[in-house]
């Protein structure tokens, strides 16, 4: 479920964020940009989490 | 595909900062501070003096980016907008500014590489084909991704395995997380690659129909009425101001009319240009026209492709997404190339095994 659900949610968040920022030139502009930033934050988090898990696995093996 | 994507992403990242680069390199000459004292009709006359024998085909200004400067498109060969050479006029001093070579500038070359692979109109269509192939590969990649990744936790990067496995994981993770942005930018890129075709289509269908009663009239060469015509056009759409004028006889205007593009409003409205046709002989006569849906889609595609509507924060987001696209394409090339290498090695060892087996069977 997660394999499709997370990319789908990130796609929806990106699109809402970018269209929201385009439609509004006020304060919501920044909220839209922040929403569009979510996939990148998720990417950084996923990469860091894997590194942590692997570090823990290698420590256990040792 | 990945190599094309790499080139498009790299040039795209550079183009995000084209205004800053152009300003640092001094590509566009700045006008003197003060108020505009020169009329647009005088600016056209100055451009004619600067380019003797050439016809003025368009007039363009951007008070936010280049205050006090009018750009006049001059062409000796035809009346097509694409063939025009841009002459800049300082509206504050009433003087010609040094010639601007947009195409030869650094960002101009990068733009032509990005939009048409330095191959002109054919290159533009080629980029469209690449964009279409990319849309197909993104969608098919998304379809294949689910069943393939079912057994694994989302975002898994197997760093302790072979480099190919790690890069394949990275490729899938980056592709899955940035899918929405990539699909949006690729689709809008596809629309923009068809932009000049769409504009030509509009010019020969709807615009031609509007100008049909005047099609056989001689082209109005006396353009003293341009300032009044712009005022008339602006009066047809409240709160909007002119940004571009196709002059009579050009491929976006009839021989007798100015085609004035107006911009204004906020948010989405500011991206939707409106159009007014104004009689060059009787500049008080003008009427507004709605642009067709496909041109509206084209206008909307531009900001969504270039990410130039949210100031520095959005430029930063676009750059980060661009960098992830570079990682995506580089890992794609690596995975593909190493896969071919593996297949070749497997084939070679299979051939050796077969030969050894044959030799063993034939030996007494």
Determine, yes or no, domain membership for B163. yes
**Cβ within 8 Å, pair A14-B184:** yes
Residues of A in contact with B308 (CB under 8 A): none
Report how many domains make up chain B: 1
Residue of A nearest to B173 (CA): A43
Of the candidates B265, B199, B321, the one whose C-alpha atom is nearest the C-alpha of residue A43 is B321
Domain residues for the domain of B348 are 3-12+108-193+311-359
B351 pLDDT band, cuts 50/70/90, is low
B360 pLDDT band, cuts 50/70/90, is low
What's the token pair of residue B31? 């006008």
Chain A closest-CA separation from residue B212 CA (Å): 37
A1 pLDDT band, cuts 50/70/90, is low
Residue of A nearest to B313 (CA): A33
**A12 touches B: beta carbon within 8 Å:** yes
* B79-113 confidence digits (pLDDT tens): 888 888 899 999 998 999 887 778 888 999 999 99
Does B233 or B165 have the greater pLDDT score?
A: B233
Describe the strand order of the beta sheet including B95-96 as a list of residue ranges. B95-96, B85-90, B69-75, B55-61, B240-246, B257-264, B274-279, B286-289
Of the candidates B295, B260, B252, B262, the one whose C-alpha atom is nearest the C-alpha of residue B277 is B260
CA distance A58 to A56: 6
**Cβ within 8 Å, pair A43-B271:** no
Give domain limits for chain A. 2-61
Does A28 or A7 have the greater pLDDT score?
A: A7
Q: What percent of chain B has pLDDT over 70?
A: 93
> Which residue of B177, B178, B270, B306 to mutate against A (max A Cβ within 10 Å)?
B177
CA B138 to chain centre: 21
Determine, yes or no, domain membership for B179. yes
Predicted local confidence at residue B184, as pLDDT: 96
Determine, yes or no, domain membership for B316. yes
Chain B closest-CA separation from residue A56 CA (Å): 13
Average pLDDT score over residue span B129-146? 90
A29 pLDDT band, cuts 50/70/90, is confident
Residues of B in contact with A1 (CB under 8 A): none
* B302-330 confidence digits (pLDDT tens): 999 999 888 889 999 999 999 999 998 88
Q: Give B203's DSSP letter.
A: I
B17 pLDDT band, cuts 50/70/90, is very high
Determine, yes or no, domain membership for B248. no
- Residues of chain B that touch chain A, judged by Cβ-Cβ distance less than 8 Å: 142, 145-146, 149-150, 152-157, 159-160, 173-174, 176-181, 183-184, 266-268, 270-271, 300, 303-304, 309-311, 313-314, 317, 320-321, 324
Query: What is the pTM (predicted TM-score) of this model?
Result: 0.83
**Cβ within 8 Å, pair B184-A7:** no
Does B218 or B146 have the greater pLDDT score?
A: B218
Predicted local confidence at residue B336, as pLDDT: 82
* B265-294 confidence digits (pLDDT tens): 877 888 888 999 999 999 999 999 989 999
Chain A closest-CA separation from residue B317 CA (Å): 6
* B45-57 confidence digits (pLDDT tens): 999 999 999 999 9
Facing residue for B317 by CB, picked from A26, A36, A46:
A36
Alpha carbon distances (Å) from B114 to B13, B132, B189 = 10, 15, 10
CA distance B334 to B164: 8
Determine, yes or no, domain membership for B158. yes
**Cβ within 8 Å, pair A7-B142:** yes
Predicted local confidence at residue B136, as pLDDT: 93
B223 and B247 Cβ atoms separated by less than 8 Å: yes
């Amino acid at each position: 479920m997660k394999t499709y659900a997370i990319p789908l949610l990130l796609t929806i968040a990106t699109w809402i964020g970018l269209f929201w920022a385009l439609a509004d030139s006020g304060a919501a502009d920044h909220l839209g940009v922040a929403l569009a930033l979510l996939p990148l934050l998720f990417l950084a988090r996923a990469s860091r989490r894997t590194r942590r898990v692997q570090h823990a696995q290698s420590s256990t093996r040792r | 595909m990945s190599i094309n994507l790499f080139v498009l992403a790299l040039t795209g990242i550079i183009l995000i900062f084209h205004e800053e680069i152009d300003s640092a390199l001094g590509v566009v000459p700045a006008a003197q501070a003060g108020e505009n004292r020169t009329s647009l009709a005088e600016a056209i006359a100055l451009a004619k003096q600067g380019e003797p024998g050439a016809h003025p085909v368009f007039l363009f200004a951007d008070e936010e980016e280049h205050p006090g400067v009018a750009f006049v498109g001059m062409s000796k060969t035809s009346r097509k907008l694409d063939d025009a050479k841009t002459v800049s006029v300082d509206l504050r001093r009433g003087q010609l500014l040094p010639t601007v070579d947009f195409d030869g500038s650094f960002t101009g070359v990068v733009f032509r590489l990005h939009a048409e692979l330095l191959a002109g109109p054919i290159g533009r269509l080629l980029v469209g084909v690449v964009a279409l192939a990319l849309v197909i590969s993104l969608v098919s990649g998304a379809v294949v991704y689910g069943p393939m990744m079912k057994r694994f936790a989302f975002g898994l990067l197997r760093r302790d395995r072979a480099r190919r496995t790690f890069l394949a994981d990275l490729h899938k993770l980056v592709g899955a997380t940035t899918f929405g942005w990539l699909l949006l930018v690729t689709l809008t890129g596809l629309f923009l690659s068809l932009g000049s075709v769409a504009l030509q289509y509009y010019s020969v269908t709807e615009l031609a129909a509007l100008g049909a009663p005047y099609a056989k009239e001689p082209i109005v060469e006396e353009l003293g009425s341009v300032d009044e015509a712009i005022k008339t056009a602006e009066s047809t759409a409240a709160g909007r101001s002119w940004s571009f004028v196709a002059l009579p006889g050009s491929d976006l205007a009839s021989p007798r009319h100015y085609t004035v593009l107006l911009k204004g409003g906020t948010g989405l409205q500011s991206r939707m240009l409106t159009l007014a046709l104004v009689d060059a002989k009787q500049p008080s006569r003008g009427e507004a026209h709605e642009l067709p849906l496909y041109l509206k889609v084209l206008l909307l595609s531009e900001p969504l492709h270039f990410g130039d509507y949210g100031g520095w924060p959005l430029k930063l987001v676009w750059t980060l997404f661009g960098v992830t696209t570079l990682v995506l394409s580089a890992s794609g090339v690596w995975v593909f190339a190493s896969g071919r290498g593996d297949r070749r090695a497997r084939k070679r060892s299979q051939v050796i095994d077969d030969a050894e087996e044959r030799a063993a069977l034939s030996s007494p």
